[in-house]
Amino acid sequence: MHVIVDALGSFRMGPGSWRPLLEAGGHVGIFNPFRWTLRLNRLLRRNHRKIAVFDGAAACIGGFGYGDRWAGNPPAGWWDVGARMEGPVVAQFREVFARDWRHCAKVPLRPFPGVSFARPRGREDLRVLPSALGRRLPFRFMRRAISRARTRAYICTTYFIPSPLLRYALRRAARRGVDVRLLLPTPRREHFVFRFAGRRHYGSLLAAGVRIFEYQPSFLHAKYALADRDWALIGSSNLDTLSGLVNLEADLEARSRGAVRALTDRFLRDARAAREITIGRWSGRPLWTRILERLFGYFDPWL
């Protein structure tokens, strides 16, 4: 068993935390351990991927971390969404993990015994989109899907600090009649800075016809998007600068009606447990909220 954890994400875990796994024959890789450096991008670059590969035959992806926050049911636990796959796409997951393992351990990952990756094409059109420093690949595909959408475009994300290009694509899609909806966390459970920095964009989106829902039962940690009936994206990327430019992320692009149908059903069920933000409700927010939105909005490029 091989486990990769980010140094920042696991900083509360001391060396003894891994002893049972190591004594059982497992291996642990620490991504980007803290070292003295003047390179800010070195300090900020974190591994935010959430993937798992089992015997080279199955893989999982989503927003789930391994911690108590995900262990309980709402409202105690965080709400998240993931996907499990089998077939040829698993080889792509293993390749991503193997690259990260070489970065951590400086040794190649041993092949899975008795597993061949030369398999026939699967029934679904799936591919992994691993991000790298400065590469906004998942965002580019998302903007393209929204720009081409004809009936609907739904996005669920934890941290909503959209780029100008994405905001433009969302507004333009809504104005041409596409059913555009956003499912976001309730401010009561969100981090203070992100709460106001992201919400300042609500006004222009609502005016264009975008519908915005804030999930109420617990903290929403899911990250996925869908367009029409044949495109979906699910993984670890938030809609913020850290995910777009700094962190290592992994997302699954699915051109599959079955995957899109399942995510659409999930989105609509969760939206029923959310509070819709209307133009009237948004216009009536307090003055102090507007001031904080403008203040923290200046930090958009760094969030």
Residue pair 223/63 in contact (Cβ under 8 Å)? The answer is yes
Q: Are 282 and 206 in contact (CB under 8 A)?
A: yes
Residue 223, CA distances (Å) to 20, 36, 252 in order: 32, 33, 11
Q: Are 222 and 237 in contact (CB under 8 A)?
A: no
Instruction: Report, as residue numbers or ranges, the catalytic residues.
Output: 48, 50, 55, 221, 223, 228
Q: State the Cα–Cα distance between residues 238 and 55, nearest whole angstrom.
A: 29
Beta bridge partners of 239: 160
For residues 233 and 219, is the Cβ–Cβ distance under 8 A?
A: no
If residue 252 lies in a helix (H) or strand (E), which one and from where to where? strand 250-255
